[in-house]
Amino acid sequence: MSAQTLYDKLWNSHVVRQDEDGTALIYIDRQLVHEVTSPQAFEGLRLAHRRPWRIASMLAVPDHNVPTTNRSAGIADPVSRIQVETLDANCAEFGVTEFKMNDIRQGIVHVIGPEQGATLPGMTVVCGDSHTSTHGAFAALAHGIGTSEVEHVMATQCLVAKKSKSMEVRVEGILGHGVTAKDIALAVIGKIGTAGGTGYAIEFAGSAIRALSMEGRMTLCNMAIEAGARAGMIAVDDTTLDYLKGRPFAPQGDLWDKAVVQWRNLHSDQGAAFDAGVLLDAAEIRPQVTWGTSPEMVVAVDGCVPDPATLSADKREGAERALIYMGLSANTPITDIKIDKVFIGSCTNARIEDMRAAAAVIKGGKVTVKQAMVVPGSGLVKRQAEQEGLDRIFTDAGFEWREPGCSMCLAMNDDKLAAGERCASTSNRNFEGRQGQGGRTHLVSPEMAAAAAIAGHFVDVSKL
Amino acid sequence: MKKFTLLNGLVAPLDRANVDTDAIIPKQFLKSIKRSGFGPNAFDEWRYLDHGEPGMDNSNRPVNPDFVLNKPRYQGAQILLARENFGCGSSREHAPWALEDYGFRAIIAPSFADIFFNNCFKNGLLPIRLDAGKVEILFREVEANAGYKLAIDLEQQTIGAPDGTVYPFEVDAFRKHCLLNGLDDIGLTLQHVDEIAAFEARHHAAQPWL
């Protein structure tokens, strides 16, 4: 057999049937469920008198609407409350395992899946959420789907799909001090654009990727969708296996050993051909800051806000509109941009390593911005951070230490920006209104966000 | 699902690239547990001058007169003409639900984000990729001619312009079949129950930890 990419292997091992035009039925191993994109799917099942095909493949958690403070009082917004209660009721009715709002295991769906070992190498993983690409960090084929497809997977355990093209994003070399997986992600998006990966499944490879922790790999795969690729993935290695061993949903004993033998094959073969390739030198990547309203509008922290007049014609109008929305002038040094609020959290950057990295740059400093919040990705991340004393470092510096959830990444709960407020955020999207109508988002790494909270403006963490 | 066969519809131009699904339907409206009723809040932040929340009486809200869909000449539009990477961002199917509920049946753009593109077909909404040069011509035509309509024929895979130009387009055979006949994917997939069950048995025998 000819050399296969990791994507080929994952795809081929899940094809139930394939039609002549390339349309295939793909078997789905794991479906993660949250409250926002599932109610209509459950309702569809009910109306058609259908049952989920394989209940054990499903794992549910409320994350988008949950409050990040004072949970004992429940959810104040009645519309949000109904949505979470609807998830609870649907999971109870159909027998789906759910980590409810006050369960220690509750958290952002893309944090808890891997944390529980519910995401395993070789799996197909779907969820009604575009950041499902996160799970590809475990050499899984993982991508977001719409609610109709959520219902389709519930009812049939399959998805109707066509194979994507493949792209290899290779990052070679050693990242500099203060440069993280988030900066790799933003640098890649800056290079290929937010539509650069459309129609592709991306495999991240190279020595800089192999050197990343699982947390870093999840951050990177999480943002594959911001490059337009539904799926991002990384080959299995010891880092993957060390992370998963002993997790509640991971196989144990003999089964673990058997699984590892198969998982070791989950990499692209020598000489496997990709449809497209991108190469980055890790040493050249600087801490990144977005300046506009699309993740591709990004520069290095030691750069300046670009002058739209110097951009190509197709980018100029969008850049001009973005600068007006962002309240920024061309050629402003990034480190001169003053910040109102800081958000450290989201499915991109709310894992234990992100918490540690943010805490490490505080060094006794105090928050000088209006508000800085840290929202751990799960109850278990929160507990571990507290065991390590990180919560004290944050609260002593003036950060708010919150309960886990999606929070101000998309501002569906009460955590949001007011119009005109400028935020350094570790989340994944700087779209207009994403963090609150009129709010201005700059995407950065946890280190960059924490440093900005202390300084009141962006600082180059590679020089700290 | 609604069938899509022929559409002779008024065209509205949305002249900006990278229109994301947060813009198409802002997050506060995603709290609904229903599939319908999103139309009045499509493009909410661009369309109204105040801040929208679920449950508001949208008919009393101040509209933004500068937003293209609020212009009298585009009222009743069924075809949205858009730019590159339309529908990027979140996977929310509420975006096609909102566009369909607003009255659109087709979107023409040089490129679409993958998940949005896929979601459209599940909701009787036809996304058509046309190369950027042709889209540019259509933008000029629609802006120059009030009441500009296009005739979309899905069976023939053509867009007919008033000046007689015919633009052919590509569409997946399976998706075309489903749209033309208004077919529900789930019903079609369940015709293969035996194959799925056989695959599942083999798959789990080989990987008993799944």
Cross-strand partners of A419: none
Say how far apart CA B128 and CA B111 lie, in whole Å: 8
pLDDT at residue number A1: 62
Please tell me if residue B195 touches chain A, with a CB cutoff of 8 Å.
yes
Identify all chain B residues contacting A37, using CB atoms and an 8 Å cutoff. Answer: 91-93
In one-letter notation, the amino acid at residue A47 is: L
pLDDT at residue number A133: 98
Instruction: Show the CA angle centred on residue A134, arms to residues A19 and A416, nearest 5°.
Output: 120
Which chain A residue has its CA at the smallest distance from B199's CA? A16
Across chain B, mean pLDDT equals: 97
Q: Which of A4, A107, A88, A145 is nearest to A384 (CA)?
A: A107
**Which residue in A47, A158, A293, A435 has the most chain B C-beta atoms within 10 A of its own C-beta, making it the best mutation to test that interface?**
A158
Say how far apart CA A454 and CA B121 lie, in whole Å: 48
Q: How far is CA A330 from CA A307, A336, B195, in A?
A: 5, 12, 59
pLDDT at residue number B162: 97
Tens-place pLDDT, residues B48-100: 999 999 999 999 999 999 999 999 999 999 999 999 999 999 999 999 999 99
The minimal CB distance from A431 to the residues B17, B20, B85 is found for: B20
Please tell me if residue B56 touches chain A, with a CB cutoff of 8 Å.
no
Please tell me if residue B70 touches chain A, with a CB cutoff of 8 Å.
no
Say how far apart CA A217 and CA A233 lie, in whole Å: 9
Asked if B172 and A21 touch (Cβ cutoff 8 Å), the reply is: yes
Tell me the Ramachandran region of residue A319: left when phi exceeds 0, alpha when psi lies from -120 to 50, beta otherwise. alpha
Asked if A375 and A405 touch (Cβ cutoff 8 Å), the reply is: yes
Q: What is the mean pLDDT of residues B24-31?
A: 97
pLDDT at residue number A21: 87
Identify all chain A residues contacting B203, using CB atoms and an 8 Å cutoff. Answer: 13-14, 27
The minimal CB distance from B114 to the residues A82, A230, A259 is found for: A230
Q: Is the pLDDT of residue A70 over 90?
A: no
Name the helix (H) or strand (E) containing A191. helix A181-192
Band (pLDDT 50/70/90 cuts) for residue A314 is confident
Q: Looking at residue A173, what DSSP letter applies?
A: S
A–B interface: beta-carbon pairs under 8 A: 180
Contact criterion met (CB < 8 Å) for B115 and A433:
no
The minimal CB distance from A83 to the residues B31, B45, B93 is found for: B31
Name the helix (H) or strand (E) containing A27. strand A24-27
Please state whether beta strands B158-160 and B149-153 pair in parallel, antiparallel, or not at all (unpaired).
antiparallel
- Give the residue ranges of DSSP H helices in A361-459: 379-387, 390-397, 446-455
Say how far apart CA B167 and CA A231 lie, in whole Å: 32
Q: What is the mean pLDDT of residues A29-55?
A: 97
Please tell me if residue B204 touches chain A, with a CB cutoff of 8 Å.
no
Contact criterion met (CB < 8 Å) for B96 and A432:
no
Tens-place pLDDT, residues B121-180: 999 999 999 999 999 999 999 999 999 999 999 999 999 999 999 999 999 999 999 999
Name the helix (H) or strand (E) containing A460. none
Burial of A460: CB neighbours in 10 Å, binned 0-12, 13-18, 19+: middle
Band (pLDDT 50/70/90 cuts) for residue A37 is very high
**Which residue in A147, A154, A223 has the most chain B C-beta atoms within 10 A of its own C-beta, making it the best mutation to test that interface?**
A147
Asked if A458 and A369 touch (Cβ cutoff 8 Å), the reply is: no
Contact criterion met (CB < 8 Å) for B123 and A230:
no
Contact criterion met (CB < 8 Å) for B196 and A251:
no
Contact criterion met (CB < 8 Å) for A195 and B18:
yes
Name the helix (H) or strand (E) containing A370. none
The DSSP code sequence of chain B is ----SEEEEEEEE---S--BHHHHS-GGGGG--SSS--GGGTTHHHHBSS---TT--GGGSPB-TTSGGGSGGGTT--EEE--TTBTBS---THHHHHHHHHT--EEEES-B-HHHHHHHHTTT-EEEE--HHHHHHHHHHHHHSTT-EEEEETTTTEEE-TTS-EEE----HHHHHHHHHT--HHHHHGGGHHHHHHHHHHHHHH-TT-
The DSSP code sequence of B114-167 is HHHHHHHHTTT-EEEE--HHHHHHHHHHHHHSTT-EEEEETTTTEEE-TTS-EE
Say how far apart CA A64 and CA B70 lie, in whole Å: 31
% of chain A residues with pLDDT over 90:
98
Please tell me if residue B197 touches chain A, with a CB cutoff of 8 Å.
no
Contact criterion met (CB < 8 Å) for A198 and B85:
yes
Band (pLDDT 50/70/90 cuts) for residue B181 is very high
Please tell me if residue B50 touches chain A, with a CB cutoff of 8 Å.
no
Cross-strand partners of A274: none
* Neighbouring residues of A44: CB distance < 8 A, sequence distance ≥ 6: A50, A148, A151
pLDDT at residue number A438: 96
- Give the residue ranges of DSSP H helices in A227-371: 238-244, 253-263, 313-326, 352-360
Task: Count CA atoms within 13 Å of residue A279 on its CB side.
Answer: 2
Say how far apart CA A440 and CA A432 lie, in whole Å: 7
Contact criterion met (CB < 8 Å) for A152 and B189:
yes
Q: How far is CA A205 from CA A228, A236, A237, A428, in A?
A: 18, 11, 12, 21
Instruction: Show the CA angle centred on residue A210, arms to residues A205 and A216, nearest 5°.
Output: 95
Cross-strand partners of A24: A18, A161
Name the helix (H) or strand (E) containing A302. none
pLDDT at residue number B184: 84
Band (pLDDT 50/70/90 cuts) for residue A404 is very high
Band (pLDDT 50/70/90 cuts) for residue B1 is confident
Please tell me if residue B41 touches chain A, with a CB cutoff of 8 Å.
no
In one-letter notation, the amino acid at residue A21 is: D
Strand order in the sheet with A97-98: A97-98, A58-60, A30-33, A124-127, A141-144
Q: How far is CA A445 from CA A125, A186, A354, A372, in A?
A: 26, 10, 8, 14
**Which residue in A12, A15, A16 has the most chain B C-beta atoms within 10 A of its own C-beta, making it the best mutation to test that interface?**
A16
Q: What is the mean pLDDT of residues A419-425?
A: 98
pLDDT at residue number B2: 87
The minimal CB distance from B186 to the residues A19, A151, A250 is found for: A151
